[in-house]
Amino acid sequence: MKGMSLIVKSITNVVIGFIFIYGIYIILHGHLTPGGGFAGGVILAGAFILRIIAFGADAKGEDRSSLTASVFESVGGLLFLGVALAGMAITGIFFLNFLPKGVPLALSSAGIIPICNIAIGIKVSAGLFSIFLAIAAVKSGIED
Amino acid sequence: MIELYLFLVFMIVAAIIATEIKDLLAAVISLGAVGFSVAIMFILVQAPDLAIVQIVVEVLTVVIFVAVILRSTHIDETVGKKIAGTQITAVVLFSVFAFLFLFAMFKAIQELPAFGNATMRIAKEYIRLGLTQVGGANMVANVILDYRALDTLGEATVLFTSVIGVVALMRKSGRKK
């Protein structure tokens, strides 16, 4: 996939960090404010896709990103399942919220929910990004 | 309440435009209008969690659609063709079944509680006990990641399966030329 003009590249350089931080904020505050793992993960995937659309990538780079994305997709899924199985190992109930609940409205509260949000965020961002890469890569494969 | 109906009419018009217009880029843009109307309706009925997801997913879908259309054809060649005999039968059959479905739905809706006055037998308990039992301030997160976490695991599996499907269909290596 080819990159776009200098204007798009400069603006992308400025805003991409803010988009990334906003996505991470939405994931980490998922148990306090509207949002959560899915919404934040989609925002992170949007940042990755913006990067690829603006700057472009050759076939080699797309393959490398695709591999990384699939690894992170699996890591996210396994982390989510691992939290569920940890609840089963410690208390005997699948998906039981076994961590201490903490003070309501504090960032580190609500037991396993922040960990689950992080896992889902990793999984969703990597999954959507690899869907985009698959569509972009098959097109550039035809052009080669 | 009236603004919900306005958005509903706008969405129906935009959806009809999306299916009937010849230019695919315009069709994608009207599809985006439908999606953003759904997001605004979520905000109007006070569901910001869904609105955030809807807006971001809609932006991504429109971007991917536009990227695909810019690299392929612009014209939808199926619009405006002459209607064949079999298509007339299909339209008639569809109208009959759509009428039956709408009639059944109308009967079913009469039995439901009025709009905005759900019975909420379980949800009341979630709202009453959520903060003390789970500890999260966002009640949606409490429900989807504690009370109904197994559902969310299934949802994550659905996403995983769809990613595998897309990557397997679109892969470059290992396909026959």
Contacts across the A-B interface (CB distance below 8 Å): 140
Q: How many domains does chain A have?
A: 1
Q: For residue A1, is it within any domain? A: no
- Catalogue the long-range contacts made by B75-79 (C-beta closer than 8 Å, 24 or more residues apart): B75/B22, B75/B23, B75/B24, B76/B21, B76/B22, B76/B23, B76/B24, B76/B27, B79/B20, B79/B21, B79/B22
Sign of CA pseudo-dihedral A22, A23, A26, A29: negative
Contact A97 B134 (CB under 8 A): yes
DSSP-based helix, strand, coil % in chain B, nearest 5: 75, 0, 25
B5, pLDDT greater than 60: yes
* Residue A137 reports pLDDT greater than 70: no
Domain that holds residue A117: 6-143
Interface touch B136/A31, C-beta < 8 Å: yes
For the segment B85-126, what is each residue's pLDDT rounded down to a tens digit?
A: 778 888 899 999 999 999 999 999 888 887 777 777 887 888
Chain A neighbors of B65, CB-CB under 8 A: none
Q: Of B141, B24, B128, give the one whose Cα is nearest residue A116.
A: B141
Q: Kindly report, residue by residue over A6-53, the tens digit of the pLDDT.
A: 888 899 999 999 999 999 998 888 888 888 888 888 899 889 888 888
Report chain B's mean pLDDT, rounded to a whole number: 83
Q: Between these two residues, A134 and B52, which has the higher pLDDT value?
A: B52
| Torsion sign over Cα B113, B117, B118, B122 | negative
Strand partners, B23: B75
Minimum-distance CB partner of A120 among B59, B135, B156: B156
User: What pLDDT, on a 0 to 100 scale, did the predictor assign at position B82?
Assistant: 66
Distance CA B64, CA B71 (A): 11
* More confidently predicted of A111 and B31: B31
User: Of the candidates A111, A123, A130, which has its C-beta nearest B134's C-beta?
Assistant: A111
Mean pLDDT along residues A117-131: 88
Provide, as residue numbers in chain B, all residues whose Cβ is less than 8 Å from the Cβ of A46.
56, 59-60
Q: What is the pLDDT of residues B37-55, one digit of tens each?
A: 999 999 988 888 888 889 9
**Complex prediction ipTM:** 0.79
* Shortest distance, CA A113 to any CA of chain B (angstroms): 6
Nearest to A2 by CA among A97, A142, A124, A136: A136
